Amino acid sequence: MSYSIPQFSKSAVDKAGRTLAAAASAEEFDDTAWDILGNWRASHAFPLNTVTVSLKGKVSRLGLEGVVVQRLKRSRSILSKLLRDSMRLTQMQDIGGCRAVVASIDDVYSLRSRFYKSRSKHVLVSEDDYIAKPKNSGYRGIHLIYKFQSAVKPEYNNLLLEVQLRSQVQHAWATAVETVGAVVGQALKSSQGESLWLTYFQTASLALEYSETPAFGRTPSMSRGQVARELERLDERLEVNKKLSAYRAALRATEQPKAKSAGYFLLVLLPDEPGLQVFSFSKDEADAAQKEYQRYERLLPFRSRQMPLFPELADYSGAQVVLVGAESFRSIREAYPNYYLDTEQFMLLVTQFIQRYRRAA
């Protein structure tokens, strides 16, 4: 299998990032800069696959039930992050990222501990423990940033990669946020503005944290009863359950017959229809998959009006495309339910919490 290697200097990569980020639309993209971005992103595929294999091995050796997937960051998300954080393209730490979704918080920390005990030559650059200290948005999980090191493949040395560790409950919350951003982010009325959705997901995160952990380790801002009643109020105001159930029921998914045995999956979500197309590629077709990924990204709208819901998770406006590496088609649905507009697990958890604690003090 052939993988792309970096073909341009870091200064050229950073210049391409600045040029593309300044463009108002995909039609204004400089072709040379676009090719440089494509090569820089594709160059993360080999080291990302190496780290993903290591992550799978750790999950297996610990005997954990979990789903492991990898993805190369979408160009729109890359450029949005460059603008938002005023960083250089070569500084971005999550162009290549892999994720493990395991059963519980205990499993997350067991997996994290296994990384710290690893004899890998890759350098741990930083860790963000968003379980011990959740983001203001309510996001929880653990992020590990590694600098790739290899004596055999030195051309990839020092490329940065992100490893995400989440429990199933944390993953249900995060993918629900992405689903909402995709399907209702542009259509909310002024009386149902961004602040209400922010409050809803912050409150829902608190409810799910209560559900997962008997003790917070810090003073909670609301009691279980207060959280349940606030969620119930917000659900009535925003019609969360009604809207998300309707979109999930309306989605038309088109999948290729060979999808169940592929190694790469290109997911194209058109939430306005709503429709999802899934194109599959074998493990030997990595280069073809990358080229098709870039082609679709050029076809889809680059920017559109949107509510910036939780920008740390992704860019949610309108149509989306992502290339994912996974062992099976089933793991795609488990790891990326947002592309199927599927928030069933999240809504079940929230509903159960409300029913249990709505009358509590």
For 34-66, write each residue's pLDDT tens digit: 999 999 999 999 999 999 999 999 999 999 999
pLDDT at 185 over 80: no
User: What number is the average pLDDT over the span 236-242?
Assistant: 89
Exposure string over 65-76, b if 16+ CB within 10 A, otherwise e: ebbbbbbbbbbb
Count Cβ atoms within 10 A of the Cβ of residue 20 and give its class: 0-12 exposed, 13-18 middle, 19 or more buried: buried
Alpha-carbon distance 232 to 329, whole Å? 35
3-state secondary structure of 268: strand
Alpha-carbon distance 303 to 133, whole Å? 32
Alpha-carbon distance 213 to 207, whole Å? 10
Q: pTM for this structure?
A: 0.90
The domain ranges of the chain are 10-173+249-344
Answer whether 46's CB lies under 8 Å from 3's CB. Answer: yes
**CA-based torsion, 283, 288, 291, 293: positive or negative:** negative
Record: fold of 10-173+249-344: Beta Polymerase; domain 2 (3.30.460)
Tokens in use for 106?
């205990």
User: Cis before residue 274, ω within 30 degrees of 0?
Assistant: yes
Tell me which residue has tokens 């954990």: 64
Nearest to 42 by CA among 68, 66, 7: 7
Tens-digit pLDDT profile for residues 264-320: 889 888 877 778 888 888 888 888 888 899 888 888 766 554 556 666 665 555 678
